[in-house]
Amino acid sequence: MKALKIILGLVVAAAIIVAVVVVLVVKNLDGIIKTVVETVGSDVTQVSVTLDAVSTELLAGRIELHSLVIDNPEGFDGAYLFDMDQVALQVEPATLIGKVIVINEVLIDGAKISAELKGQTTNLQALEKNIAQSTSSSTAKPAAETTQNDTEGADVLLMVEKFSFINSNLQLKTDQWGDRTVKMPNILLSDLGDKQSGLTPEQLTQLVISRLSENVQTAVEDEVKNMVKDKAKEQLNKELDERLSDKEKGQLDQLKGMFGQ
């Protein structure tokens, strides 16, 4: 009987310890998420990633990240590359205790993007290069070390059903043509990872940032082409204006009026 009391006492003590740990984790969950986002983001991009605050509603499965900023790669002047005022995540609560945490939706609405063109390269390309380097360095590790890291990193696996990056504002800065506001299309992604194996936070970060960079890079390239065309057209009109007589200029204006130009 005495032994039974001791065992029951140990079980109760263990239960209390577990409860205290759970309470402490829940209370510090916002801080834990903040640390993970900043650490993983900075490791993958090789630039500073900062997050001002996190707010969670576990029962509702909602997580909000406030003021998530990805700095510019080295060699570029802007204060940031991506500045996301608010990122909302809707998590499937039942999966929080499962192997793979399922995120029903990630919504980034109204982000600010500062794209810079210096010479023949952009800060987006520099970020892509950083991501490629971090990926290659992780895959180049010895097999034993890779296996160990994979096992350790398997504690957190994620799957995103829907990713929406909408209503973003892109400012393009160039040395040659000054600053331009670029129309940025909405970016909609789906099924990042799967519910069986999922993705590590590092893999998900790499995938999302790479997809974002690709879309932003395309928008920047299109705008740069338009800049070149506008500049060439402006120069051609200037040369033509210098060569035409007043009479010829008048006739040209009449023709433009006829065709609505």
Tell the burial category of 212 from Cβ atoms under 10 Å away from its Cβ (0-12, 13-18, 19+).
buried
pLDDT of residue 28: 74
Asked if 201 and 156 touch (Cβ cutoff 8 Å), the reply is: yes
Burial of 250 (0-12, 13-18, 19+ CB in 10 A): exposed
Helix spans in the chain (H) = 2-27, 29-45, 123-139, 143-153, 201-243, 246-258
User: For residue 104, what pLDDT band results from cuts at 50, 70 and 90?
Assistant: very high
- Choose between 29 and 40: higher pLDDT: 40
- What pLDDT, on a 0 to 100 scale, did the predictor assign at position 64? 93
Q: Could you give the CA distance from residue 192 to residue 107 in angstroms, rounded to a whole number?
A: 14
Higher pLDDT, 256 or 33: 33
Q: Which residues contact 140 (CB under 8 A, 6 or more apart)?
A: none
Nearest to 189 by CA among 221, 172, 169, 213: 213
Q: Tell me: pLDDT of 155 over 90.
A: no
Q: Judge whether residue 74 has pLDDT over 70.
A: yes
Name the more confident of 7 and 106.
106
DSSP string, 171-217: EEEETTTEEEEE----EEEEEES-TTT-B-HHHHHHHHHHHHHHHHH
With a cut of 90, say whether residue 199 has pLDDT above it: yes
Give CA–CA dist 55/87, Å, rounded: 11
The model's pLDDT over 186-196, given as tens digits with 9 standing for 90+, comes to: 999 999 999 99
What pLDDT is recorded for position 211?
87
Residue 179 and residue 173 in contact, taking contact as beta carbons nearer than 8 Å: yes
pLDDT, average across residues 108-132: 88
Q: What is the pLDDT at residue 134?
A: 84
In the chain, pLDDT over 70 holds for what percent of residues? 69
| pLDDT beyond 60 at 153 | no
Structure-block tokens of residue 182: 């670029």
Say if residues 100 and 196 touch (Cβ distance below 8 Å): yes
The domain limits of the chain are 2-233
DSSP character at residue 94:
G
**Between 259 and 10, where is the model more confident?**
10
Residue 97 has pLDDT above 60, yes or no: yes
Query: What is the average pLDDT value for the chain, to the nearest integer?
Result: 78
What pLDDT sits at residue 71? Answer: 95
What is the pLDDT at residue 146? Answer: 39
Q: Is residue 150 predicted with pLDDT exceeding 60?
A: no
